[in-house]
Amino acid sequence: MIKYLGSKRRLVPVLGAITAVSGARRTLDLFTGTTRVAQEMKRRGANVTAVDTARYSEVFAQCYVALDGATADIVEIDEAISRLSACQGYDGYFTETFGVRSRYVQPHNGRRIDAMRDAIESEYRGTWLYPVLLTSLIEAADRVDSTTGLQMAYVKQWAERSYRDIELRVPELVAGVGAAVRGDACSLAATLGSFDLAYLDPPYNQHRYFTNYHVWETLVAWDAPEHYGVACKRVDARDEATKSVFNAKRAMAGALRQVVADVSCRVLILSYNDESWVSRHELVDMCSHHEAVRLLAFDSKRYVGAQIGIHNPQGKKVGQVGRTRNIEYLIVAGPAPQVSRMCAGYPTLVSSGYL
Ligand SMILES: C[S@@+](CC[C@H](N)C(=O)[O-])C[C@H]1O[C@@H](n2cnc3c(N)ncnc32)[C@H](O)[C@@H]1O
């Protein structure tokens, strides 16, 4: 499973079950990230719109959400993957930047990535296979990377998995219909139409996805950007245009309140955890225009970097071992009978907006 900060691994089954009980046919995943939640909603029969600002998220969404796994030609994907897998590796931007100057992958895998990514660009750009092959490549790189899950930190020695040879696999496509949209939730929320159910999982603190997943941004853009720092981050990470209001402590609560008000949906589900800047009181209040509001709580494991500590390329520890667990919360808001059915059997902390 691809490593992603704030990814809702633990909550995916819960969100899938809640969506199914709600009876929602048309759903929105407004901060879709890995698209894991959107995929689960699609599996449960919903027509999902998946939105995110990240280039790699758009690629994942084109592959897993917009493409119908029931009609996609798996033989064609298989053939393309065999073709790419036969590419001879060579030194290029990726090897130099992320295998030599920084330690994202070992150079032998960096060379294969250079060759396979060039081939995807020259042979498949503009075809339906393009996002499928990019997804396959990003997931393959993730399985042999040497990070703690963030592309800013190094493990002390090369991670054991990084010695293995990179191997492309056919992504497990999902049958059904959906849409992939790349853009800012703040400007899109009011324009996307009406949904039976909207799921919102924004960043709640200073951790920027653009910098934490800059290698994937570059793998998709394939623009060999100038870079800075030990992690070789893209220079455009310094541009205002790549920053999210949801990483700005003062502005994020107001932005989220506006997005919640702008989204047109019968049922709203809002994710947050006990490491966020916004209090649960404030979040429940943002949803109070809905008839009923419930707050559910789930104990969860944090991302791996918090558990093993992080190191610079010389092996010196530069980060602390943090907390290993946190509490994930879901705020479910909508018509009272529907919310009550959706939340039945889950640990409820707060109900009907009363704290
Ligand atoms: C907590 S993660 C979502 C994780 C996702 N639910 C999953 O399971 O993979 C937050 C996501 O919000 C995206 N994001 C940040 N600012 C955004 C904005 N202004 N509009 C849309 N997406 C944004 C990030 O790129 C990131 O993928």
Query: For residue range 125-180, what is the model confidence (pLDDT) as tens digits?
Result: 999 999 999 999 999 999 999 998 999 876 778 999 999 999 999 999 999 999 99
**Does pLDDT of 302 surpass 60?**
no
Residue nearest to atom 27 of ligand 1 (CA): 33
Amino acid at 49: T
CB-based contact 265:195 (threshold 8 Å): yes
Using CA positions, which residue lies closest to atom 1 of ligand 1?
6
Q: Is the pTM of this model over 0.75?
A: yes
Task: List the alpha helices (DSSP H) in 263-330.
Answer: 280-286, 305-308
Ligand 1 pocket mutation, candidates 240, 246, 326, criterion most atoms within 8 A of CB: 246
The answer to whether residues 45 and 176 touch, using CB atoms and an 8 Å cutoff, is yes
Closest ligand 1 atom to the C-alpha of 33?
27
- Cα(53) to ligand 1 centroid in Å equals 7
Any ligand 1 atom below 6 A from CB of 37? yes
| Residue 185 Cβ < 6 Å to ligand 1 | yes
**Ligand 1 lined by 68 (C-beta under 6 Å):** no
Pairing of strands 26-29, 194-200: parallel
Average the pLDDT over each of 18-22, 169-173, 270-274 and give the range with the smallest value. 270-274
Tell me whether strands 233-234 and 325-334 are parallel, antiparallel or unpaired. unpaired
Residue 346 has a pLDDT of: 85
Residues shown for the chain: 355
Give residue-wise pLDDT tens across range 31-77: 999 999 999 999 999 999 999 999 999 999 999 999 999 999 999 99
